[in-house]
Structure 1
Amino acid sequence: MAVDPLTELVTLLQPSVRFSKLVECFGPWKIRRPGTGDPFFCAVLEGRCRTVVKGHPPLILEAGDFLLVPAMHDLTNESVPAPEDETTTVPVQDGKGRFRIGPEGGPVDLRMRIGHCRFASPDAALLVPLLPSVVVARGEPRFATLMQLVADETHADRPARELVLERLLEVLLIEALRSGDETAAMPGLARGLADMRLAAALHAMHAHPERAWTIADLAGEASLSRAAFFSRFDRIVGLKPMEYLFAWRMALAGRLLCERELGLDEVAERVGYSSASTFSVAFARHTGETPARYGRLQTGRLSRPAPETVDAG
């Protein structure tokens, strides 16, 4: 069965909603959000706004646009045109999951659904760099539908709520990564999969992480010379080929260790190591923990749900 690396990556990240709200704005305003490292999303339902993510050029978001920042840096949202002063606006809560900027009962210039999610994977810090740092998908009405479903599940108390939210977030992230206009210009897995030559090598790595891959093998999968493949992969994916393979193997190993269904020898074999001792040394160097201790620690952490936080900004 064919392996889809993007689906595999998003599934392994284990996304879940931490907080979601509807914000309605009128008049000039500016909101600054400090970098939290968590994934941040914004879907513009009506109107337009200006968004600046630290380290990136300003973006004008309009109705139908969806913004995803997989690891949020300092971010500023503001009206168009921007306010004359630098005063930060504080939205006022106007019902459950609903916030407002401007006089109550007045007109609305902008309506947007924003929020934070979290990646439950213990290897999220390793996996997030494989995603583009900013994703913008424009003019896709299905994002508004997906966000409404996320909002409904977030605020409802129905059976299987967490499972439904997890699946909705997975679909939302995959849609954003494969639809984003700006995605194609940023290094990351999505850009690599858009390159026909590199996609062949990436699919091969994901389908057979247990193989003793060499640069020559991967270059052959991509029908490129070794030098051309190495340079192209580093430039487009943002990691050297063997760094990417190592990162992916360690992430898969982490998942297998948390599941605790296989012995150490079997885990080592699944991720391309000839012996448990060789794998243990590599894994400990990468995570700072032995495989056995890592599995116990992460299983304990994942069994405790993360607390919900209320974000008034």
Structure 2
Amino acid sequence: MDVLSDAIAAMRTGRPHSSRTVRFAPWGIRFPASEGAGFHVVLQGTAWLLPPAAAGGDVAPAPVRLGPGDVVLLTHGIGYGLADHPDSPLTDAVPLPDGSWPTPPDRGPVDAEETLLLCGAYQLNRTRPHPLLAELPPYVHIPARVGAHPRLRAAVELLGAELAEPLPGSDAIVPALLDTLLLSLLRTWWLAERADRSTGWSAALADPAVAAALRALHGDPAHPWTVEELGALGGLSRAAFARRFTTLVGRPPLAYLTWWRMTTAGRLLRADDLPLRAVAQRSGYSSEFAFAKAFKREYGTAPGRYRAAS
């Protein structure tokens, strides 16, 4: 898997939810804090996002107007609001038992302004967030522009069509389209951001030498990588590569490798019934004892207990 796909897979849990809904002015919804990430697409009409404050901030940013075709992703599970107008009162959104949001009836007052929305939510495991996602802003807003982001627009149109008219196979198609939309959203944002950033994951994925090393680490985390070997993939000396990787990624190459191996091990323990020896081998450890020791140092508990508690 590539790095972005791997980062999403490491955090994604459960089944994503989505709905296509009509709102009639006045309306306002307050979404509570959650472990997941939510998105909204304005298909028709307008809406206002009442954004969450940044981490550690006391004051939320100014409301953001969303026009037809605009897409917004709420990334960190912080509470936020969505309304027809910034001054409209907000009603708390209460999720259904399966984690989805109830759909209001498609009716409203005569001549009321109508807004058609495509909304969804992803469940994420935030106990071990990938730094690639952790550096995202509180929300990602991608305005509609004629001819821009064709792949993202195609994912939105396909998802909207499936929700508007479910057909045989929709139960399998919709979750796949939701994952496609999430990856398309994030890729669109990073491609726009990387030109303006000299450090961080946007810059790391744009740097040929660091990106080649990350692809190698994610492609085969069990391989006994050396810094010299990783640097050679991008044509750099050991020292030059180590400096560049540490500056952009935020930790030295082998420290990141160890972190990713343990993240991979945690995902395998949660999702599969593989024997511990097999999990150890896929995580780069030939000894089950050495793996258990490293895992306990990283997670504070033994692999077996971690699996039982997941």
Is TM > 0.5 for Structure 1 vs Structure 2?
yes
**Residue 249 of structure 1: CA displacement?**
1.1
Mapped partners of 2:254, 2:78: distance in 1: 28
Query: Which residue number in structure 2 is paired with residue 126 of structure 1?
Result: 128
- 8 Å CA contact 2:32–2:92 kept in 1: the answer is no
- 1:253 equivalent in alignment to 2:255: no
- 8 Å CA contact 2:31–2:79 kept in 1: the answer is yes
What letter corresponds to residue 257 of structure 2 in structure 1?
A: L
Superposed CA deviations along residues 225-262 of structure 1, whole A, max 9, x for unmatched, are 6666556545544555444323321222233334223x
**Residue 19 of structure 1: CA displacement?**
5.5
Ranges in structure 1 where 5+ consecutive residues have no aligned partner? 299-313
**Residue 43 of structure 1: CA displacement?**
0.9
- 1:168 equivalent in alignment to 2:173: no
What letter corresponds to residue 142 of structure 2 in structure 1?
A: A
What letter corresponds to residue 180 of structure 2 in structure 1?
A: V
What letter corresponds to residue 166 of structure 1 in structure 2?
A: P
**Residue 118 of structure 1: CA displacement?**
1.4
Alpha-carbon spacing, 1:47–1:275, altered in 2? closer, same or farther (3 Å): same
Match of 1:108 among 104, 110, 113: 113
- 8 Å CA contact 1:15–1:166 kept in 2: the answer is no
Mapped partners of 1:117, 1:150: distance in 2: 18
What letter corresponds to residue 130 of structure 1 in structure 2?
A: L
Query: Which residue number in structure 1 is paired with residue 283 of structure 2?
Result: 271
Query: Which residue number in structure 1 is paired with residue 57 of structure 2?
Result: none
Alpha-carbon spacing, 1:160–1:90, altered in 2? closer, same or farther (3 Å): closer
Superposed CA deviations along residues 76-123 of structure 1, whole A, max 9, x for unmatched, are 33446x32xx843568xxxx954389952324353322232214xxx5
Within a 5 Å distance, the mapping from 1:135-150 to structure 2 comes to: 135-139=140-144, 140=149, 141-148=153-160
What letter corresponds to residue 288 of structure 1 in structure 2?
A: G
**Residue 223 of structure 1: CA displacement?**
3.9
Query: Which residue number in structure 2 is paired with residue 303 of structure 1?
Result: none
- 8 Å CA contact 1:16–1:165 kept in 2: the answer is no
What letter corresponds to residue 176 of structure 1 in structure 2?
A: L
Mapped partners of 1:45, 1:11: distance in 2: 28
Query: Which residue number in structure 2 is paired with residue 307 of structure 1?
Result: none
**Residue 4 of structure 1: CA displacement?**
2.0
Mapped partners of 1:242, 1:16: distance in 2: 33
Query: Which residue number in structure 2 is paired with residue 41 of structure 1?
Result: 39
Alpha-carbon spacing, 1:102–1:142, altered in 2? closer, same or farther (3 Å): same
Query: Which residue number in structure 2 is paired with residue 76 of structure 1?
Result: 81
What letter corresponds to residue 126 of structure 1 in structure 2?
A: R
Alpha-carbon spacing, 1:166–1:235, altered in 2? closer, same or farther (3 Å): farther
- Aligned with 2:104: secondary structure? strand
**Residue 167 of structure 1: CA displacement?**
1.9
- 1:180 equivalent in alignment to 2:189: yes
- 8 Å CA contact 1:209–1:271 kept in 2: the answer is yes
Query: Which residue number in structure 1 is paired with residue 230 of structure 2?
Result: 218
- Aligned with 2:127: secondary structure? helix
Mapped partners of 2:250, 2:79: distance in 1: 22
Query: Which residue number in structure 1 is paired with residue 15 of structure 2?
Result: 16
Of the structure 1 ranges 140-149 and 222-231, higher mean CA displacement relative to structure 2 is found in 222-231
When the two structures are aligned, how many residues end up with a matched partner? 281
- Aligned with 2:128: secondary structure? helix
Mapped partners of 1:79, 1:205: distance in 2: 46
**Residue 45 of structure 1: CA displacement?**
1.0
Mapped partners of 1:118, 1:188: distance in 2: 25
Mapped partners of 1:228, 1:101: distance in 2: 60
- 1:26 equivalent in alignment to 2:25: yes
Mapped partners of 1:101, 1:242: distance in 2: 55
- 8 Å CA contact 2:24–2:109 kept in 1: the answer is no
- 1:292 equivalent in alignment to 2:304: yes
With structure 1 as the length reference, what TM-score do the two structures score?
0.71
What letter corresponds to residue 70 of structure 1 in structure 2?
A: T
Over aligned residue pairs, what C-alpha RMSD do you find? 3.8
Mapped partners of 2:299, 2:251: distance in 1: 18
With structure 2 as the length reference, what TM-score do the two structures score?
0.72
What letter corresponds to residue 38 of structure 2 in structure 1?
A: F
Query: Which residue number in structure 2 is paired with residue 5 of structure 1?
Result: 3
Ranges in structure 2 where 5+ consecutive residues have no aligned partner? 55-59, 94-100
Of the structure 1 ranges 135-144 and 224-233, higher mean CA displacement relative to structure 2 is found in 224-233
Alpha-carbon spacing, 1:159–1:146, altered in 2? closer, same or farther (3 Å): closer
**Residue 61 of structure 1: CA displacement?**
2.8
Alpha-carbon spacing, 1:106–1:128, altered in 2? closer, same or farther (3 Å): farther
Mapped partners of 1:50, 1:274: distance in 2: 54
**Residue 284 of structure 1: CA displacement?**
1.7
Superposed CA deviations along residues 6-43 of structure 1, whole A, max 9, x for unmatched, are 2233344246224535242435x654433213111111
- Aligned with 2:21: secondary structure? strand
